[in-house]
Amino acid sequence: MSTPAPLREKAQTRWMMGQRRQGGMALGLAVAAPLLGGALLLWQAWTLADILGRAVEMGEPMAALMPAILLVATLLVGRTLLGMIGERAGAAAGEAIKLHVRQALFGQLLSRSPRAGDQPASGAAASVVIDQTEALDGFFARYFPAMIQATILPLAFGAVILPLDWLAGLLFLVTAPLIPLFMALAGWGAQIATERQATALSRLSGRFADRLRGMLTLKLFGRADAETAGIVAASDELRRRTLKVLRIAFLSSAVLEFFAALGVAGIALYVGLTFIEFLHLRSTPLTLQAGLFLLLMAPEIYNPLRLLAAHYHDRAAAKAAIAEIEKQLGALPEAIVPLADAKAPSHTGALAVRIDGLTLRTPDRSRTILSDVALTLEPGQHLAIVGPSGIGKTTLLEAIGRLRAHEGEIGLDGLALQDWPEAELRGRVAVLGQKPRIFHGSIAQNIGLGRPGASRAEIARAAELAHVAAFADALPDGLDTLLGEDGVGLSGGQVQRVALARIFLRDAGLILLDEPTAHLDGALEGDVMDTLISYAAGRTLIIATHSMAAAGRMDRAYRIAAQSLVEMPLPHRRDRKGSAA
Amino acid sequence: MKALLKFRPLFANRAKGLLLALALSLVTLAAGVALLGTSGWFITAAALTTLGVSFNLFVPSSLVRGFSFIRILARYGEKLVGHDATLRLLADIRGWLFGRLFPRIPLADRSLRHGDLVSRLTADVDALDTAFLVAIGPIAAAVVVGTVMTAVLAWLIPGAALVYGLCFALAALAVPALLVVSSRRAGTEVVQRAAATRMAVLDGIDGHADLVAFGILGTTQADFADKAGALAAARGRLASYATAASGSVQLLSGLALVSVLWAGLLAFDAGAIDGPVMIGLLLAVLGSFEATGAIVRSVAKLSTAMAAAERLSEVAEAPIAIADPARPMALPEDGAIAFADVTFCYGGNAPVLRDIDLAIAPGQRLAITGPSGSGKSSLLKLLLRLADPQSGRVTLGGVPLTALRQADLHAHIALLSQDSPVFNDSIRNNLLIGRADADDVALWAALDAAQIGAFVRSLPRGLDTVLGEMGRTVSTGQSRRLCLARTLVSNAPVLLLDEPTNGLDRAAELAFFETLKTATAGRTVVLVTHAEIPEGTVDAVVELRNGAVVR
């Protein structure tokens, strides 16, 4: 983050140009085809001027001009084909590059620790992977080929014209390179403003997402009108910002238009004045054919630049997008990180847990949650961790599950946690978080995540154990009922039971459960705990819970207080109806 | 197209700006055509003249200069005016959509996934917004330029007019129409696949810990690669259609040029036209192709805009499940709530509530207990009229809820739901959602009552602390308590608290119940919970089982 801005920008540009490789052959074609088309254009303009000159100046009859007319027609067809090849290849290159970048970004996001402090929120991550990456499309599919054309074609055209008429050639050769210079001057301001606009857009989109998520709450508090007005105000603010950018950005296109119009007008006047012998700048007289050729080429000289200007915002948008990607992710990915599923573990059986001198902090390291704690758990023991909310039960569980960083020692079966191969660890440790994610798909698919490849019967059995079947059977599609994003359509208790069913598909030696019964009432809590405990026989189990009833079913209980772990007497196993009051 | 036409009123509001932009783009095109035509005529006439320096220079040279400057200015004006109008339109459409969406909440259609909705609101609105400027405008301009050129040709080279006119019409109208029809499916596919890919990212990040814990990152990555690949393939198909269309337009332009050349030379041979005019016309024809150049890109945008319009109107025109009565009754003074013989089910499923009879007196504190899925939350939904029962009535002060304005009802009854969100905003703004005019004293009182005042005081920026997306900077229990404070700060005489102590430990839970009495003094409270409620917290307890009152 301390890298100076210009250096960072250079690195970003280098990264973007580096992605060209992913465009491969297609990008090459997208660049080459229009260049060849430019050569054909010269030929076509010359032939057309030739036809007109011979007809009007020499009075040649139509029949003599036939071959030349046919040649013009053929050249037109050829240019069309080249144009199509270039366009389609550009699109293919853009898609290939975006696909690669998306995979690289997603891989980078997944390969980090899930609780890393710099992990972007899901909305921002989706915006980076989908929308910001989409902004690269225009750069590679259109801007890049246009840039090569704009660099080569005007100079090539000018060089061809120079021997024909030194003044016109010089005019082209001098004005053409001036245009990008002026455009860069005008575009420089636009670039800064475009970046600012991208930030505004991303914030606006974040506001949408956030307000949408809570739309029901807003409606119930009578905020519908206020929030609608807020969205309009935010959009209007965006308009004012954007317009400020555009006033400058459009100057660059006006500059271009100025030169293009000046080129045509200048050539027309120069050629006309030469013809009526008002100007005497040539040593040889000018033919009508040559004069017309100059006029036909005058707008074409500036066309590649016009094309470049039309796609100039593609470049600005891509650069702004890359800056945004780097800001959100901290770094730009180089290659696609290959990730693998956990394999079936080579050993099974309960794991021993040994914690010593463990210190846990918040991801931004601003606060210490647990300090220098110790804990030893024999294989097959069941442990409850209790304590007020926010005290660090979840953090401890996640640390043992290697879902977040820790200081000090955590050992499983005598092997330090950090030395466990990922696949082996995941095969032997099962974790149920406090807020398990329900993925978009059916109930059965969601349960099946517990073990990819689990059979339908196994999934049904797990659903039975977790009391999912109890409510799923009442649904029209049963276990095949599709769930909305993050379990829309399920109550909190139902979400928890679906997530719990995943655990039953696994043959884990250590089970970490975070508030597995938080949303369940007394009777159901008792039933779920019954199945859990019978499943956890011969496995090590740690649950974090508020429920004394659940804690009472364990072998031991610890309390978190003042950043340390304190063993406490096991809460009395209460009557399942829970009439402690 | 039909869906797009539905948005006509929104476009009509900005018609002045949009039409001005269109007119300016026509001036730009016309100036370009005239510049080339005049130049061609001028140099040919100059080449053929025998008058030498006495040739009338003044008119053509000033025309050439004039057309150049008109073109420069018109181009700049067109861009600025057009973008201003479009951006104003953008704010209009966003506000319009939000306004349409609110009455339709909660959305009945479960398939409206959150990620998809976000993509609709931003991308679709953007696509619809630019429909005029980048799609309809250029096509309209091309039609005008083509018509005028055809008329000029019909006058001067009649033999060329027919083919030119036909080619131009095909390029400006038939090719776009064909492209729209053929790329329709591919366009819809792109949007759907982009939404699916977005969903995969949302699932991947929000479910990251689960994915890591289950060791299925490989599967997740492969699944994402499939989705992103499918998106790329769909976009590729769309690009193929666009390429075919732009090739056709270019071929038609070529055909038009060759036919004008042909007919022009024939007319010249026959002495029907003089050389300078013929060459001037030919150059003008070349210049007129500038109008067709942008068409294909416009059509691609038009297809996107049409798909967007369709999907937007699908959301915006979804039937309003719960409508306000035509002549709402005033909110009754007496706030007694009664359920009479209420039966309710979700869309043809088994009833979740059966023959419920329940009376809640003003100021009463009632607890509703029962196993999960017994219908407790549905009872609250009916009370807020987020759904209507299939039979029976829910009344407030004897007035059926269906006779009241929803806004009045919602101002009367505040809800803390199980999934109440914390907004990505300051703590203060989060609380002010409950009551916009609450002062700091009221906010702190609510925070204290929700047992989170001490935490907020410990934050360096206090009430001005900004909470992250989905409340990520606070714990689940803390965000729950902030939502509770938001509910408490509202002025509503009736509070519905759905599992308010979820995420609290027992001590905090007990403390909450302790303060509940004072915090809600004088208000009616309906508490849905399965926690053990200390004696004296509530006046009555109702137990639901399987959709029926058992106690």
Residue B97's CATH number: 1.20.1560.10
Over 80: is that where the pLDDT of A192 sits?
no
Token code pair at residue B114: 């959150």
Q: Which domains does chain A have, with CATH numbers?
A: 5-329 (1.20.1560.10), 353-568 (3.40.50.300)
Number of domains forming the structure of chain B: 2
- Cβ separation of A119 and B205 shorter than 8 Å? yes
List Cβ<8 Å contacts ≥24 apart for A54-59. Answer: A54/A289, A55/B265, A55/B268, A55/B269, A55/B275, A56/A288, A56/B44, A56/B48, A56/B268, A56/B275, A56/B276, A56/B278, A56/B279, A57/A287, A57/A288, A57/A289, A57/B47, A57/B48, A57/B275
Q: Which of A179-193, A518-532, B276-290, B350-364 shows the lowest mean pLDDT across its residues?
A: A179-193
pLDDT tens for A214-228 read 788 888 888 888 888
The proportion of chain A whose per-residue pLDDT surpasses 90, expressed as a percent, equals 34
Mean pLDDT over all residues of chain A?
85
- Over residues A134-162, the pLDDT tens digits come to 989 999 999 999 989 988 998 899 889 99
**Could you give the C-alpha distances from B151 to B147, B164, B275, in angstroms and in order?**
6, 10, 20
Q: Is the pLDDT of residue A186 over 80?
A: no
The residue of chain A nearest to residue B430, with distances taken between CA atoms, is A218
For testing the chain B interface, which of A216, A279, A517 should be mutated: the one with the most B CBs within 10 Å? A216
Please report how many Cα atoms fall inside a 13 Å half-sphere around the Cα of residue B480, on the Cβ side.
21
Q: Are residues B310 and B341 in the same domain?
A: no
pLDDT band at B111 (very low <50, low <70, confident <90, very high): very low
Of A147 and A202, more confident? A147
Please indicate, yes or no, if residue B331 is contained in any of the structural domains: no
Residues B43, A439: C-beta atoms closer than 8 Å: no
Last residue of a domain, one of B316, B349, B369: B316
* CA–CA min distance A61, chain B (Å): 7
Residue type, B371: P
- DSSP code of residue B79: H
Chain A residues within an 8 Å CB radius of B504: 388-389, 546
Reply yes or no on whether the pLDDT at A13 is more than 50.
yes
Q: How does DSSP classify residue B477?
A: H
Identify the weakest region by mean pLDDT among A169-178, A284-293, A332-341, B26-35: A169-178
Measured at the CA of A363, the angle between CA B506 and CA A396, to 5 degrees, comes to 45
Contacts of B278 in chain A (CB under 8 A): 56
Q: Which residues of B touch A194 (CB under 8 A)?
A: none
* Interface with A, mutate which of B248, B419, B430 (most A CBs under 10 A): B419
Residues of A in contact with B38 (CB under 8 A): 268
Considering the domain boundaries, does residue B440 fall inside one?
A: yes
* Domain assignment of residue B229, given as a range: 10-316
Helix axes A24-56, B217-269, angle to 10 degrees: 10
Question: Of A201-215, A346-360, B340-354, B506-520, which has the strongest mean pLDDT?
Answer: A346-360
CATH number, domain containing residue B462:
3.40.50.300
Instruction: Between A530 and A263, name the one with better pLDDT.
Output: A530
Q: Are residues B304 and B360 in the same domain?
A: no
Residue A575: its pLDDT value, please?
44
Q: Do A264 and B35 touch (CB under 8 A)?
A: yes
| pLDDT above 90 (res A433) | no
Of A80-94, A258-272, B290-304, B501-515, the poorest mean pLDDT is in B501-515
Residue B258 lies in a domain: yes
Q: Say how far apart CA B2 and CA B414 lie, in whole Å.
A: 41
Does residue B184 sit in the same domain as residue B255? Answer: yes
CB A519 within 8 Å of CB B502 = yes
Say whether both B474 and B513 belong to one domain: yes
Q: What is the pLDDT of residue A193?
A: 57
- For B205, the enclosing helix (H) or strand (E) is helix B175-206
Residue B379 lies in a domain: yes
A492–B52 CB contact, under 8 Å: no
| pLDDT band at A84; cut points 50, 70, 90 | very high
- Residues in A closer than 8 angstroms to B269, CB to CB, are 55, 61-62
pLDDT average, residue stretch B359-379:
85
B383 or B116: which leads in pLDDT: B383
User: Is residue B392 assigned to a domain?
Assistant: yes
Residue B296 CB partners (closer than 8 Å, separation 6+): B175, B176, B179, B242, B245, B246, B249
Q: Identify the residue among A122, A140, A215 best suited for mutation to test binding to B, counting B beta carbons within 10 A and taking the highest.
A: A122
Q: Which of A98, A115, A226 sits opposite B209 (nearest CB)?
A: A115
First to last CA, chain A: 56
- The pLDDT value recorded for residue A90 is 96
CB distance A435–B476 less than 8 Å? Answer: yes
Kindly list the residues from chain A whose CB atom is less than 8 angstroms away from the CB atom of residue B213.
401, 403, 426, 429-431, 433
User: How many CA atoms lie within 13 Å of B12's alpha carbon, on the beta-carbon side?
Assistant: 6
B109 pLDDT higher than 70: no
What CA–CA distance (Å, rounded) separates A500 from A520? Answer: 12
Same domain, B36 and B132: yes
Cross-chain residue pair A110–B204, CB shorter than 8 Å: yes
pLDDT of residue B260: 94
The verdict on residue B330 lying in a domain is: no
Question: Are the Cβ atoms of A492 and B502 closer than 8 angstroms?
Answer: yes
Give the chain B residue whose CA is nearest to the CA of A252: B76
Pick A52's closest partner by Cβ from B213, B282, B503: B282
Residues B110-117 have a mean pLDDT of 50
**CB-side neighbour CA atoms (13 Å) of B523:** 23
Q: How many CB atoms lie within 10 A of CB B154?
A: 15
The predicted model gives A428-447 an average pLDDT of: 87
Q: What is the pLDDT of residue A180?
A: 66
**Residue B248, token pair as written in the block:** 């056709």
Per the domain annotation, does B448 fall within a domain? yes
Q: Do A62 and B265 touch (CB under 8 A)?
A: yes
Bigger pLDDT: A511 or B57?
A511
Q: State whether residue A571 is helix, strand or coil.
A: coil
∠B408-B413-B418 over CA atoms, to 5°?
Answer: 130
Separation in Å, CA of B22 to nearest CA in chain A: 17
Contact assessment for residue B46 and residue A295, using Cβ atoms and an 8 Å cutoff? no
Do B426 and B281 belong to one domain?
no
Inspect the interface and report whether the beta carbons of B90 and A272 lie closer than 8 Å.
no
Of residues B99, B202, B425, nearest to A126 (C-beta): B202
Out of B214, B373, B509, closest to residue A471 by CB: B373
State the average pLDDT over residues B208-235.
92
Q: Which of B157, B201, B458, B498 to mutate to test the interface with A (most CBs of A within 10 A)?
A: B201
| % of chain B residues with pLDDT over 90 | 40
- Interchain pair A439, B203: CB under 8 A: yes
Are B309 and B424 in the same domain? Answer: no
- Flag if A222 and B410 touch (Cβ within 8 Å): yes
CB contact under 8 A, A389 and B53: no
Residues of A in contact with B242 (CB under 8 A): 87, 91
A37-41, A484-488, A501-505, range with the lowest pLDDT? A484-488
Closest to B151 measured CA to CA, from B137, B168, B175, B176:
B168
Where is pLDDT greater, at A384 or A282? A384
The secondary structure element, H or E, covering residue B80 is helix B58-101
Percentage of residues in chain A having pLDDT higher than 70: 90
Size of interface A-B (CB pairs under 8 A): 479
CA B260 to chain centroid: 47
- B352 and B499 share a domain? yes
**In terms of domains, do B392 and B479 share one?**
yes
Whether residue A390 has pLDDT greater than 70: no
In a domain, B430, yes or no: yes
Report how far residue A435's alpha carbon sits from residue A47's, in angstroms, rounded to the nearest whole number. 73
ipTM for this model: 0.83
> Is there a single domain that holds both residue B277 and residue B364?
no
* Contact assignment for A296 to B286 by CB distance below 8 Å: yes
Report which of residues B147 and A427 the model is more confident about.
Answer: B147
State whether B165 and B31 are in the same domain.
Answer: yes
B17 CA to centre of own chain: 22
Q: What angle do CA A379, A382, A384 make, to 5 degrees?
A: 135
**What pLDDT sits at residue A578?**
38
Burial class of residue B102 (count of CB atoms within 10 Å of its CB; 0-12, 13-18, 19+): middle
Q: Is the pLDDT of residue A581 over 50?
A: no
Whether the per-residue pLDDT at A62 is higher than 50: the answer is: yes
| Across A519-531, average pLDDT | 83
Residues B277 and B365 in one domain: no
Instruction: Give the nearest partner residue to A518 out of B229, B350, B502, using CB atoms.
Output: B502
What percent of chain B shows pLDDT beyond 70? 93
| CA closest to B203 among chain A residues | A439
Cβ-based contacts of B458 with chain A (< 8 Å):
none
Question: Which residue is closest to B407 within chain A, CA to CA?
Answer: A222
**A114 contact residues in B (CB cutoff 8 A):** 208-209, 211-212
